[in-house]
Chains A and B, each alone.
Chain A
Amino acid sequence: MKEKEINVNINGKDIALPTPMSAIQAVWHAGYPMVHGVGCLEGVCGACKVLVRRAGGTEITTELGCQTMTEDGMQIIFLVFPTPNHHSYELSDLKNSWETQGHFHHVFPEAAHCRHCSGCTKSCPKDIDVEKGVDLAVEGKFREAGELFLECVMCGLCLTSCPERITPNHVGIFCRRVSAYFHIRPSNLINRLEEIRKGRFKIEY
């Protein structure tokens, strides 16, 4: 049985597809080269940001092009833009966990000015509640905030939609990193490190 052709428009070009495929594969299939905006092809690197409008709809969503399956009448635009980060910090600057809160606001002064516009949350292709993450971070709940960013692929869409230049994704990764940095040390790992330090293990070939 021959399947019905799928007609889509990608980056302004009309493309007819014999079977459903991802937006990236559709571009290649149509004979156009594309390497910018392609990475893992598995939805984990965040390289392939797209704007999508489905047939008959008015809503425009932001998605990952390798994970977006083409449907008849879909319009897709690949977004290839740099996502510069103007924040900078070193974990080693944090001498103890009591300083984390103060340090956070020093590094991310804009975070406290979040205007709760939800721009970041709406743009996130991983359905992360980014806005809440920023809120939690501002309150100093770094572990909870970091947890929310579990699936963050650092695509930077939230960053580009934030009117306050908060860089929510970097806030999220900061939260994750300090949580690991100050977390109780795993005893099984510590014990093994100690044993190795004492020279208990010699490898025999």
Chain B
Amino acid sequence: MAKGISRQAALKNYHANRDKTVTPEELDVPELLKKFHPDYDETSMVSLQVGPNKGDKCHKQLADLLQSDAMIDEADLAGAPVYETDVLVIGGGGAGCAAALVAAEKGARGILATKLRLGDSNTVMAEGGIQASIEKNDTPQMHFDDTIKAGHHCADKKLVEKLVMEAPDVIRWLIQHGMQFDENQFGDLVTRRAGGTSADRVVYYRDYTGLEMMRTLREGVLNRNVDVWEYNPVVELLTNESGHCAGAIVMSLNKKSYTIIKAQAVIMATGGIGRLHLNGFPTSNHIGATADGLILAYRLGAKLRDIDSFQYHPTGMAYPRHMAGSLITEGIRSAGARLLNGLGERFIDELKPRDCVTSAILKECAEGRGIDDGDGVKGVWLDTPTLERENPGFLEKRFPKVLLTGKMCKINPKEEPLLIYPTLHYQNGGAVIDEKGISTVPGLYCVGEVSGGMHGRNRIMGNALLEIICFGRIAGSEAAELIHGRGHKKVTIEHLSRLRRELTHAGLPMVSKSPALFPDYAKQGGGS
């Protein structure tokens, strides 16, 4: 890779050129993605050798986990305490909380088991906002078209239809549960535009949309009849004799002991994969985002889709190093902040879809026009000072979190541009589900980031928060309906024998075990 321009030289270029208004030249998008997007790096891909997606391309690090041995043996279950419930929700983020709330509102008994504390999740971190076509010059059809187009025409149209048609009601439901949104002086919700979309459609609460959503839902769940098990990650799923998902095994992080939870329906809502640091990228995700749900569902026979497709968010912090991967919201580009290379020049329309913008940044860096601060710190500028100069007080009012981030790294974004570099952000694919949120395994719902199909191969800002509430609600409601009149059956881990047979047959080593639960540097200590 070509070396870039030093920070000092780049700052000089920045100040010399920042008032120029040059429109960047159009790039050949397919070519750009192919050459620079990490998903297209063939060297990091392998073919899956076992399971429902046998033969599909998959990122090597993820494939290793999907094709690992399980943590559990029959021996672990002897003497493990057994609990029974109607609906077991796995994961305490937005999707899990929405599902648990609705199931409880419908009268189902529920347990919500989560890895950390309730709400320690990717949801709480979301800043940009949530999509819903509510403006006069916007329609659900436009929302649909934008989503399909941004996803490179790979999305499941039925799911997208559900998503866009439910969106306004999702916002109503959130307000009804006590979530606030930013509004104008007449009390209308204000909207902003996401990259790669055709209308202002993102509603938000400051740059704390996820925090506001999460604390509202958490309070909702805690005040409902839901049994919340914190620090109890699920380490394996259970089936009944007919192969339906019928519960799970959790491991207490405090006691290091296993508990069996039998359930009539299981809702998997374990979120994404950022902490696997695919291709060595930094990540914006919370510490528990290690693909656990994806792996457990796969073992049980759930089909996955688009698992070779990830979103690298264009604007992760690149400097200082200890903040690497930390996200700067896309909202700031929607509001007009430009991206500039080390020469102080724009190189891409900042509001193009994320995969394009990311690839363009990687291209600048690869071709020597990036800023190189040595020691592996490289990136391009996010021009926050110009935004502030054109509209004094704007950052304070609309992007308090960005200023706070600046404070942490002793940079004032009002005066100095921020050095940014793409960060591993989102799992585009996931478990295949239908419009009811059910996976290809009966009794197993998958909702939120762990599921796939809504976004095709690229997601637009705001559709993830929409998806988690939309399908979380649906799954919660469906699961609660499902339970009536069914008793608990015998549960087994028979599927693990099958897994081990298949792994042996394929000559896979079975040396490591999954799910990972945490990245190694958190589990064992060591640099991050």
The smallest C-beta distance from A96 to any residue of chain B, in angstroms, reads 15
Which residue in A85, A173, A187, A191 is a CB contact (below 8 Å) of B215?
A173
With A44-B124, A180-B178, A196-B165 as given contacts, are A173 and B523 in contact (CB-CB < 8 Å)? no
CB interface residues, B 162-176, toward A, < 8 Å: 164-165, 168-169, 171-172, 175-176
A180: which of B180, B231, B400 is its contact (CB, 8 Å)? B180
Asked if residues A44 and B210 are in contact (CB atoms below 8 Å), the reply is: yes
Complex CA gap A69/B125 in Å reads 20
Q: How far is the CA of A85 from the CA of B223 in the complex (A)?
A: 10
Asked whether, in the complex, the Cβ of B215 is within 8 Å of the Cβ of A28, the reply is: no
Answer whether residue A90 sits at the interface, using C-beta atoms and an 8 A cutoff: yes
The residue in chain B whose Cβ has the minimal distance to the Cβ of A83 is B117
Binds A, one of B43-51, B133-141, B338-346, B480-488: B133-141
> Is the Cβ of A192 less than 8 Å from the Cβ of B168?
yes
- Interface 9-residue window, one of A97-105, A113-121, A132-140, A146-154: A146-154
Say whether B178 contacts A203, CB under 8 Å: no
B189 nearest in chain A by CB position:
A186
Q: How many residues of A contact B (CB 8 A)?
A: 62
From B168, B208, B210, B527, A28 is in contact (CB under 8 Å) with B527
With contacts A35-B523, A180-B178, A203-B161 taken as known, whether A45 is within 8 angstroms of B120 at the C-beta atoms is yes
Question: Is A30 an interface residue when CB atoms closer than 8 A count as contact?
Answer: yes
The A interface is mostly helix, strand or loop, or mixed, namely loop
- CB-CB < 8 A to B175: which residues of A? 180-181, 183, 185
Inter-chain CA distance A41–B222, complex, in Å, is 24
A85 touches B186 (CB 8 A): no
Q: In the assembled complex, which residues on chain B have CB atoms less than 8 Å from the CB atom of A192? A: 132-134, 168
Q: Which residue of B lies closest to A146 (CB)?
A: B180
Q: B residues within 8 A CB of A32?
A: 525
Q: Does B391 contact A (CB under 8 A)?
A: no
B140-160: which have CB < 8 Å to A?
A: 140-141, 144, 157
Contact A203 B164 (CB under 8 A): yes
Is A31 touching B525 in the complex (CB atoms < 8 A)?
yes
A28 near B116: Cβ-Cβ < 8 Å:
no
Q: Which of A36, A45, A69 contacts B119 (CB 8 A)?
A: A45
Contact status of A203 and B188, CB under 8 A, knowing A39-B120, A154-B215, A189-B172 = no
Task: Tell me whether B507 is interfacial, beta carbon within 8 Å.
Answer: no
Are B188 and A187 in touch, CB under 8 angstroms?
Answer: yes
Residues 370-407 (chain B) with a chain A CB within 8 angstroms: 400, 404
The proximity string for B residues 512-528 relative to A, scoring 1 for CB distances below 8 Å and 0 otherwise, is: 00000010011111111
In the complex, the chain B residue whose C-beta lies closest to that of A93 is B223
- A47 at interface, CB cutoff 8 A: yes
Contacting chain B: which of A19-27, A50-58, A71-79, A158-166?
A: A19-27
Tell me the chain B residues, 397-440 only, with Cβ under 8 Å from chain A. Answer: 400, 404, 408
Question: Would you give the 0/1 interface string for B269-303, flagging 1 where the beta carbon is closer than 8 Å to chain A?
Answer: 00000000000000000111000000000000000
| Set of chain A residues within 8 Å of B133, measured between Cβ atoms | 192
A43 vs B339: C-alpha distance in the bound complex, in angstroms? 26
A141 interface residue (CB < 8 Å to B): no
Residues B116 and A47 in contact, CB atoms below 8 Å apart: yes
B177 part of interface (Cβ distance < 8 Å): yes
Complex Cα spacing A188 to B120, Å: 33
* Closest CB in chain B relative to A12 CB, distance in Å: 16
| Interface flag for A178 (CB, 8 Å) | yes
Tell me if A29 and B527 are in contact (CB < 8 A): yes
* Per-position 1/0 for A1-43, Cβ under 8 A of B: 0000000000000000001111001011111111110111111
CB of A123 within 8 A of chain B?
A: no
State the CA gap A138–B120 with chains docked (Å): 30
Closest to A169 in B: B215
Contact, CB under 8 Å: B526 / A28: yes
Q: Which of B124, B141, B172, B521 contacts A40 (CB 8 A)?
A: B124
- Asked if A90 and B223 sit within 8 Å, CB to CB, the answer is yes
A44 to B206, CA, bound (A): 14
Q: Report how far A90 CA is from B172 CA in the complex, Å.
A: 17
Assess whether B518 is in contact with A35, with CB atoms less than 8 Å apart. Answer: yes
Q: Which partner residue on chain B sits nearest A193 by CB separation? A: B168
Q: Please report A residues at the B interface, Cβ cutoff 8 Å.
A: 19-22, 25, 27-36, 38-45, 47, 67, 69, 82, 85, 88-91, 146, 150-154, 170, 173-174, 176-181, 183-189, 191-193, 196, 201, 203-205
Give 17 A-B contacts (CB < 8 Å), ordered by A residue: A28-B522, A31-B524, A35-B253, A36-B253, A42-B125, A69-B408, A177-B179, A180-B175, A180-B178, A180-B179, A180-B180, A181-B175, A184-B187, A189-B168, A193-B169, A196-B165, A201-B140
**Chain B residues at the A interface, C-beta cutoff of 8 Å:** 116-117, 119-121, 124-125, 132-136, 139-141, 144, 157, 161, 164-165, 168-169, 171-172, 175-181, 183, 186-189, 206, 208, 210-212, 215-216, 218-220, 222-224, 230-231, 253, 286-288, 321-322, 326-327, 400, 404, 408, 518, 521-528
Known contacts A31-B526, A177-B216; 6 additional CB pairs below 8 A are A32-B525, A40-B124, A91-B178, A173-B178, A173-B219, A203-B141
The 5 closest A-B pairs by CB, nearest first: A177-B178, A39-B120, A31-B525, A21-B322, A186-B189
